[in-house]
Structure 1
Amino acid sequence: MSSEREVSKMFVRYMQRVLRNERINIYRKHLRDVKETPLEDWLLEEIVEPSHLSDFLLTEDEVAHLESFIENERLANAVATLSTPDKMVLYQYYYSELNDVEIGSHIGKTSQGVNKRRRRALLRIKKAYENM
């Protein structure tokens, strides 16, 4: 009976080694297949040093002429009807992904004021777009 147990233990250890080695082989093969940096590594690099993000930010003068960055002519004309503060709020909300509180702290308004300005600006764009 003890020899059966010994054989059984030996078999289990052998199978554990086989499965471990197979897992390692699959992992190594996968590493050879992947030639790009995994998304997680890219995100970690961006968190540590988000250097390229500042390349795409618009200055206040560029935001004042936001319509020049829009390819759709009707939409560009509709956005041109907005005031510069309205364009700034829309740009910061949709492009910079700031919430109303953060935008309000930048421009010196309350979050409710920012929300109201954003909603009114969107309505103005919608009306101007529909009337063209």
Structure 2
Amino acid sequence: MNKTIEVNNYIRSINPVSARLMAERTGYSSQLIPVTSYVTVSAIEAFLRYPEAIKVITASMQPEEIGREARRPACQANSVFLWGVANFWLIGRNIMSLIDQSLDDVSDAHTVLDFWGRVSRSYRGGEFLHSAENDNRINVLK
């Protein structure tokens, strides 16, 4: 399968789950931190930095191994972390496309989303990218 088709399939999988999760959440606000601005900057940073960071990470450890290791209790790489890998990058992509569409690169998208998909499936011990695909269960214990 070519990279463009794979990327489109990942995005097709992510969109309904993210839309449902975001619809269930309330707005966050803080007098100390401008939350919307903070999230915007974080998403832009994810878009710009994740592709290269993931290449460095995967040079040391394969995504499937990361997913297996993440099953350990108290590991920081968990279901929420995994959701953020894909979604923060995609939100940053949407923001940056308003500024400079030439930054949108299918190879970078594939690097990030393929990493997310491989880690997610390994973490869940099966074919599921999201717990929502498995009745909101995360089957991490064998």
The TM-score by the shorter chain falls in which range?
under 0.3
**TM-score, normalisation: structure 2:** 0.25
- Structure with the higher fraction of residues in helix conformation: 1
Which of the two has higher C-alpha Rg? 1
